[in-house]
Amino acid sequence: MGHKNIVILGGSYGGISTAHYLLRHVIPVLPTEDTYQVLLVSPSSQAMCRQACPRAMISDEMFPQEKLFVDIAPSFEQYPKDHFRFIQGTATQLDHNNRSIYVQLNTSTVPETEKIEFHAIVIATGTSTTSPLLGLNRDELYLHQQWATFRAVLPTAKSIVVAGGGPSGIETAGELGEFLNGRSGCFTSKTATPKVPITVVTGGSQILPALRPAIAKKAEKYLSDVGVTIIKNARVKTVTPSGAGIDIIDSKATLTLDDGTILTPDIYIPATGVSPNTGFIDSALLSNNGRVETDNTFRIEKAGPRVYAVGDVASNVQNTGVHVILSCIPILCANMKRDLLLYTGKEGVAVGSDRVFKEDLRTSQMVPIGRNKGVGEAMGYQLPSFLVWLAKGRDYWLWTTANVWSGKQWAKES
């Protein structure tokens, strides 16, 4: 009888969902000659609704904190003790040839690394944002510290610049605009001076490039109503001091744009995309876009058997997002079940056949602009502002996350 580790890296939508799904629907059907343990590795002891960051960064009053941040380990107490282990730590090296992962433990006061040999591994380490205000780039304590620094400087800020015209940048600008300036009625959109002018700098010719131009225009009007102006076709070329907005949240910044414009905001928020968390993976396993090269069965073929990736870190999905990840989990786990059963010598109908992910490439994107307005498209159809508010703007999807973190989302095998 042997002990087999199924390691999952990342404590967010991809990792936590995979862990619940395996514990509910896969581990119980594996032959009992071996014991299997799911090990979930995450730098943070809590999962969070990352989508809510553009509003949550402003104040703890914005959301019930116990729903926004949820302890990971207790959500897994529902499973047999020996089937699950939570490790608060950061994967520092994947040795795929020797099928080991090295994890630096976050719970230890002295640097301590654990080497774990794996039977199967799922990489779900997602992405980091340039601004540390927009997600769990490290652990929850770090995020709270960044928010505290930001909140301390916000009341005295006389101007803010947000770089990036994608959803994160636009949502952040809209939330800050409404919070600091209110919505028009207090001032007319074109002529009045907002209390705190907010500028979005975007390299594109329109904001929200995934949406139709007419919808982007509507977003601009909503933004203008809360004191946000847009500079298009320009990128931030230099930032002084260089860590402003990244390492130093409360620093005034001098920004030089590539068209020569100079901006000097009291707060600078770079919301310019994300970078995959793949620093611990051999570059031979990465694709051109820096993500892990993953096929549509979620296997990383180059890494050997039973090595998988899912979520924003995986290369096989173009339009990342939580709804997409949730549609990937049953397919990934069906293929893992098949591989794990094949290893035990089972074959034919007992193991089922491979399932293949096919992405829906129609545009689906909702962008709240403050607490009452928003723009969006779902499966290619324009959504009215009210529907964007109803689905997302009310609480940035917080109404959906309890089921994901608790595993209820995966009550049935699908």
Ligand X SMILES: Cc1cc2nc3c(=O)[nH]c(=O)nc-3n(C[C@H](O)[C@H](O)[C@H](O)COP(=O)(O)OP(=O)(O)OC[C@H]3O[C@@H](n4cnc5c(N)ncnc54)[C@H](O)[C@@H]3O)c2cc1C
Q: Determine the residue type at 196.
A: V
Q: In what order do the strands lie in the sheet with 236-240?
A: 236-240, 254-257, 262-263
CB of 47 to ligand X, least distance (A): 7
Q: Which is nearer to ligand X, 12 or 202 (CB)?
A: 12
What are the CA-CA distances from residue 154 to residues 64, 143, 157, 161 (Å)?
21, 16, 5, 13
Can you tell me the distance from the alpha carbon of 325 to that of 366, in angstroms, rounded to the nearest whole number?
A: 16
Residue found under tokens 């809590």: 46
Q: Which is nearer to ligand X, 30 or 211 (CB)?
A: 211
CB of 364 to ligand X, least distance (A): 8
Pair 322, 337: CB distance under 8 Å = no
Q: Which is nearer to ligand X, 341 or 410 (CB)?
A: 410
Residue nearest to ligand X (CB): 126
**Binding residues for ligand X (CB under 6 A):** 9-15, 41-44, 50-51, 53-54, 90-91, 124-127, 129, 134-136, 168, 277, 280, 311-313, 320-323, 325
CB of 278 to ligand X, least distance (A): 8
Can you tell me the distance from the alpha carbon of 252 to that of 245, in angstroms, rounded to the nearest whole number?
A: 9
CB of 78 to ligand X, least distance (A): 20
CB of 40 to ligand X, least distance (A): 9
CB of 232 to ligand X, least distance (A): 21
Can you tell me the distance from the alpha carbon of 399 to that of 33, in angstroms, rounded to the nearest whole number?
A: 41
Q: In what order do the strands lie in the sheet with 84-95?
A: 113-117, 100-105, 84-95, 35-42, 3-9, 120-123, 307-309
Q: Which is nearer to ligand X, 51 or 297 (CB)?
A: 51
Q: Which is nearer to ligand X, 323 or 408 (CB)?
A: 323
Q: Is the dihedral of CA 339, 284, 292, 5 positive or negative?
A: positive
Q: Which is nearer to ligand X, 63 or 343 (CB)?
A: 63
Comparing CA positions, the residue from 234, 230, 237 lying closest to residue 253 is 237
CB of 74 to ligand X, least distance (A): 16
Q: Which is nearer to ligand X, 9 or 62 (CB)?
A: 9
